Amino acid sequence: MSKSSTVLRKCQERLNYEFRDLSLLKVALTHASSADSRRDSNERLEFLGDAVLDLVICQDLYERLPEALEGDLTKIKSAVVSRRVCARVADQLQLPEALTLGQGMEPDDHLPRSLAAAVLESIIAAIHLDGGLEAARKFILTQMAEEISTATYSDHQYNFKSQLQQYAQRRLRATPVYELLDEKGPDHAKCFEIAVTVGAQQFSGAWGPNKKEAEQKAAWLALRELGVVTGEFPEFHTDIESPIK
């Protein structure tokens, strides 16, 4: 078996996808530096793969977060499809090592991170053309599941106050109002208790090391009481407990 065939076989194993048209995979792994012309490189596939990736992630977030506002969805999507994230996923799949590069470039060199991100997008397009959108969707959501989850529930990307406001305005025809119930501790280490009221209903109060954190947990508690979320307050948020009396 030739070196090229071995590379393609191992690459398919890592992708957990077997191509019907191996020429698509070959092109996806062909950097412009090694192609006779730029049209023979993976640049056109990169263009298509970028669009397919956006579509799949946008639809997944749209279905996953029915109460999220457009701005929240945009922030999360931008985090998931960033060059940094795509490069990390490409590295996990060892895609840069499978690239065919021109003279003077070696896979073990310190290649630009944009190159790793580009080859992932090229692979996505190749799978899309070979097996259809559903095959590409399965690949993306499998390989990027952790990244999607992290971005969705990151403090910086997802806002329970925003979710509650959207839910309250659409379903309850009311706007949430946050009230400071209590505060304890010295000035340098205060804790705050905040409760949210929606219409005539006041929900359980929540403690936090600052008002912002307390409001976020108060919103989450309201969402839980309304049946919108379940389980425990996500561990990625600051651990919030009632202060010692």
Q: If pLDDT is split at 50, 70 and 90, which confidence band does 34 have?
A: low
Q: Which of 46, 60, 121, 213 is catalytic?
A: 121
Q: How high does pLDDT run on average in the chain?
A: 85
In the residue annotation, 232 being an active-site residue is answered as no
Kindly tell me if the per-residue pLDDT of 25 is higher than 50: yes
Domains of the chain with bracketed CATH: 3-152 (1.10.1520.10), 160-225 (3.30.160.20)
More confident residue, 29 or 163: 29
Q: Indicate the pTM of the whole model.
A: 0.66
b vs e for 139-160, b when ≥16 Cβ sit within 10 Å of the residue's Cβ?
Answer: bbeebbeebbebbbeeeebbbb
Return the pLDDT at 16. Answer: 96
Q: If pLDDT is split at 50, 70 and 90, which confidence band does 125 have?
A: very high
**33-37, 179-183, 189-193: range with lowest mean pLDDT:** 33-37
In the residue annotation, 215 being an active-site residue is answered as no
What is the full DSSP assignment across 114-174? HHHHHHHHHHHHHHHHHH-HHHHHHHHHHHTHHHHHHHHT-TTT--HHHHHHHHIIIIIS-
Return the pLDDT at 240. Answer: 38
pLDDT, tens digit, for every residue of 190-237? 899 999 999 999 999 999 888 988 998 999 999 999 988 777 776 544
Return the pLDDT at 234. Answer: 66
- The answer to whether 9 touches 82, Cβ cutoff 8 Å, is no
Kindly tell me if the per-residue pLDDT of 154 is higher than 70: no
pLDDT, tens digit, for every residue of 99-113? 887 765 655 556 677
Kindly tell me if the per-residue pLDDT of 48 is higher than 70: yes
